Structure 1
Amino acid sequence: MFSAVVRSVALALFQGDADPSPPRSRWLRFRPPRWQPLAGHVDLVQVADILVALLLFGSTFSQFVGWNDEAKLPVDDQLLFLASAAFSLPVALRDRWPLGAWRVAVVLLPSALWVIETIRPGPGDPPYTAAMTVMYVLVAYSVAARCDRRITIVVWVVGALAAWIIHPDSMAVVTVIVTVALLFGYNVRVRRNATARLVEEERRTRLAEGAQAVLEERARIARELHDVVAHHMSVIAIQAEAVPLKAAGDPVQLEAGLAEIRSLSLEAIAELRQVLGVLRDQDGRTDTAPQPGLDRLDELVSNARAAGLTVRVGRPEPLGPLPPAVGLSAYRIVQESLSNVMRHSPGSTVTITVEHDGHALRLRVANAGGTAPGGTEGAGQGLVGMRERAALLGGTLEAGPVDGGGFQVTATLPIAVAATEETT
């Protein structure tokens, strides 16, 4: 406790410093015209402080000279000058160095009080003048508004003790005046700090939102890349393995199989270019090429059958118009489901069911056990991506093994919600 008190007193008298001056509005701080001899910016607050300081100095010195002429024990003019500076110099310094201004006032006030007690008529009255009151109130406010709370408390204690020592009868009035000035300044400091914290929080929020948007965009691009690469590469890998066996030395069938692989490779490259087009665009323009939808379901089925799967499709004819977001998500979900079947259950039978009732699109991709051993387990990003696609549209997706072996993916994608979001 004692060390904390000593630390606070040391901060107020020797070690402490004030916060920087708060930023001014353009009405209080401006750059003068070029033809003016003044350099830099003009701060109207500091100009006002200097004018007030000159006014206090002139009025106080004139008052002291008048008292000195009437006194029986006149005081030297240099002391009158120093006493007048005690009421004006702290005001001139209070904006740039508020704590330094208070220290200057504490050092110079004893000489000013001695001069007042010596030459002022009417002994016994409180040795306070209007200039002294104005000076100390302004300086105390500046200290409370720009310094640590511990320093403000020390300033209040010093002011109260000085009032009790100088003139005990007026101590209550002086303490109230100093307290009001300090409380007002402290309230301003609290509000400034709260505003600064709010601005900093808003800045951090904007940065966080920007970072989140970047992560979401990365996730979207990664999801698109995964769907494109996983599907096409799976088909190409199976085709590359099956074509030599199927051709059995027949150059015609071998050539046809290689042409099919080439066609799949070109299709994969085209979709990759479409996904990455926005990243290459310096102006941030999006690729205007149409995104795939369920109208290309037959291509997925054809590729899957070419890879050795038996695929059955059940869908209404005609399917009806779908919002682009729903069509793309449905296409990617079916594409990823078929890719998983190719990797984990090659040679199996797949049933694709598409239902559309005007309110929601329902997909079901189910497969029985494969006729050949499946590949290694993946990282599970395909299922995560499918669930994210459904969730972004306000839909649901369930995936898991079924009785008797096999796997099933069921997705429900709302249509009305997606259409509304695209319109807005």
Structure 2
Amino acid sequence: MARPFGLALFQGDADPPPQSRRLTFNVPRWIGVLVPLRTYNLIQVAELALAIYLYSLTHVTLIDWIVAAARTSGGPEPIPEGFAYLAGVAVALPVALRDRWPLAAWRVAIVVMPFIIWLTIAVGAADPPYTMPAVLTYLMVLYSVAVRCDRQITLAVWIITVLLAWIVHPNSMPLVTVLATIAVLFGYNVRIRRTATARLIEEERRTQLAEGAQAVLEERTRIARELHDVVAHHMSVIAIQAEAVPLKAAGDPAQLEAGLAEIRQLSLEAIAELRQVLGVLRDQDGRTDTTPQPGLDRVDELVANARAAGLAVLVKRAGSLDGLPPAVGLSAYRIVQESLSNAMRHAPGTAVAVDLVRDGDELRLRIANGPGAAESGPPGAGQGLVGMRERAALLGGTLDAGPTQGGGFEVRATLPIAGGKASV
């Protein structure tokens, strides 16, 4: 129970003043040599002016009271006039300190207030013995303590104020308690609102950081999916071509040269698509690559590459496949590309059926292959199927993939066309 009083009187400290540039101004350079600071706050300047005014009002009022008391008694002055100037400093000093050190200003106030009360009683000019400048100073200091100090410290300051008021002048204690309570409650309410505003700003900042991190993660996922589709397809075709060309050429330089030229063309296509995917990452100015994304109009290129790698691909189209939204066309292209790549890796030499059907507002894809005619490659990491499902889900569609009864594999996808205008 004694700890709050110890903090209020000796050990406690206040929060730093709020940083606000709305009420600040810069001192011109030609005046800067005459003043200690280059930037001032209007509130600090106003409080300094108020402190000067309270100093002047206090010492002038006390001098008038001293002179009036001497005339009334017909004797010497009850106290030296120099005490009036000390009283002015005692009233003004807490006001000058309260912006930077509100708790220290209150400690100064409770030390100097007995001196001011004694002067008021000595001249016999006020009952209760509180001057208006002293009351104003103390209420301003109480408000600053409530705004900038912890709740326990504020409560201890209020209790000490009420006890001192009861000791000094019991008859005026109810009025002093009411005034002190109003100042403390008003300051505490301001503190609560500032704290809530600061927390709200911090939560908004954390939300923005979380949203930014989520956007970065989604972008990384999108780029990883694109890279997987490009690299997996083209590298699979290139690897199969590099293995098959020497066998097909059988020492014929013309066929060997044609096969190597085809491998070179596939490599250039892979590099071009990689540049298209990574273009936005390379550009520090934020410009994006405007090269058109591939769509179903380039499915024949995929089929040609797959046939060159040894697959027997049969394509069937139904409905008009022209005028598809770019996102739908790109997703359909990548699903066909990944399916053919999987067939090349896991079922080399097999027959593949590719069905592309547009039915109203839906695009249905079916890519099915039989068992491989040769030994399949090593199993992959499974990211290709995950990427295809993500592409379909982003458009609001579905994708099912799994083995067939004959030992093959089948991919079925349904992509809505009406909602495919967003980029994928």
Query: 2:408 matched to 1:412?
Result: no
Q: Which residue of 2 aligns with 1:201?
A: 203
Shift of 1:223: 1.4
Query: 2:15 matched to 1:13?
Result: no
Shift of 1:144: 0.9
Query: 2:30 matched to 1:32?
Result: no
Task: Check conservation: 2:319, 2:357, Cα contact below 8 A.
Answer: no
Shift of 1:90: 0.6
Q: Which residue of 2 aligns with 1:355?
A: 357
Q: Which residue of 2 aligns with 1:129?
A: 131
Match of 2:159 among 150, 154, 157: 157
Shift of 1:59: 1.9
Match of 2:256 among 250, 254, 257: 254
Match of 1:219 among 214, 218, 221: 221
Task: Check conservation: 2:60, 2:84, Cα contact below 8 A.
Answer: no
Q: Which residue of 1 aligns with 2:83?
A: 79
Shift of 1:33: 3.5
Larger CA deviation: 333-342 vs 277-286: 277-286
User: Any unmatched runs of 5+ in structure 2?
Assistant: none
Q: How does 1:21-420 map to 2 (within 5 A)?
A: 21-26=17-22, 28-36=23-31, 37-38=34-35, 39-69=37-67, 70=69, 74-121=78-125, 125-316=127-318, 318-419=320-421
Report Cα offsets for 1:45-82 as digits up to 9, x if no partner.
12211222222222222222233231667123343333
Work out the CA distance in 2 between the residues paired with 1:66 and 1:267: 99
Q: Secondary structure at the match of 1:200?
A: helix
Q: Secondary structure at the match of 1:284?
A: coil
Look up the equivalent residue of 1:408 and give its one-letter code: E
Shift of 1:321: 1.4
Shift of 1:318: 4.4
Work out the CA distance in 2 between the residues paired with 1:16 and 1:365: 75
Look up the equivalent residue of 1:29 and give its one-letter code: T
Work out the CA distance in 1 between the residues paired with 2:260 and 2:319: 34
Larger CA deviation: 13-22 vs 286-295: 13-22
Report Cα offsets for 1:279-304 as digits up to 9, x if no partner.
22232211121211111111111111
Work out the CA distance in 1 between the residues paired with 2:318 and 2:125: 109
Look up the equivalent residue of 1:301 and give its one-letter code: V
Q: Secondary structure at the match of 2:420?
A: helix
Q: Secondary structure at the match of 2:419?
A: helix
Work out the CA distance in 2 between the residues paired with 1:264 and 1:138: 80
Q: Secondary structure at the match of 1:417?
A: coil
Shift of 1:315: 0.8
Shift of 1:29: 1.4
Work out the CA distance in 2 between the residues paired with 1:25 and 1:282: 33
Q: Secondary structure at the match of 1:144?
A: helix
Shift of 1:203: 2.1
Shift of 1:241: 1.5
Task: Check conservation: 2:47, 2:95, Cα contact below 8 A.
Answer: yes
Larger CA deviation: 280-289 vs 74-83: 74-83
Work out the CA distance in 2 between the residues paired with 1:224 and 1:280: 16
Shift of 1:101: 0.8
Work out the CA distance in 1 between the residues paired with 2:20 and 2:275: 52
Q: Secondary structure at the match of 2:79?
A: coil
Report Cα offsets for 1:187-219 as digits up to 9, x if no partner.
111111211222222222222222222222222
Shift of 1:366: 1.5
TM-score, scaled relative to structure 1: 0.92
Work out the CA distance in 1 between the residues paired with 2:132 and 2:194: 30
Look up the equivalent residue of 1:18 and give its one-letter code: A
Shift of 1:236: 0.9
Task: Check conservation: 2:87, 2:116, Cα contact below 8 A.
Answer: yes
Work out the CA distance in 2 between the residues paired with 1:208 and 1:156: 43
Work out the CA distance in 1 between the residues paired with 2:157 and 2:81: 31
Shift of 1:317: 5.9
Q: Secondary structure at the match of 1:263?
A: helix
Task: Check conservation: 2:319, 2:358, Cα contact below 8 A.
Answer: no
Report Cα offsets for 1:296-325 as digits up to 9, x if no partner.
111111111111212121112642211111
Shift of 1:333: 0.8
Q: Secondary structure at the match of 1:102?
A: helix
Shift of 1:30: 0.7
Look up the equivalent residue of 1:176 and give its one-letter code: V
Report Cα offsets for 1:349-406 as digits up to 9, x if no partner.
2211111124121111122221223222222111121122122222222222233322
Q: Secondary structure at the match of 2:20?
A: coil
Look up the equivalent residue of 2:310 and give its one-letter code: G
Work out the CA distance in 1 between the residues paired with 2:129 and 2:326: 85
Look up the equivalent residue of 2:50 and give its one-letter code: V
Work out the CA distance in 2 between the residues paired with 1:386 and 1:175: 74
Work out the CA distance in 2 between the residues paired with 1:15 and 1:247: 92
> 1:398/1:136 Cα in 2 relative to 1: closer, same or farther (>3 Å)?
same
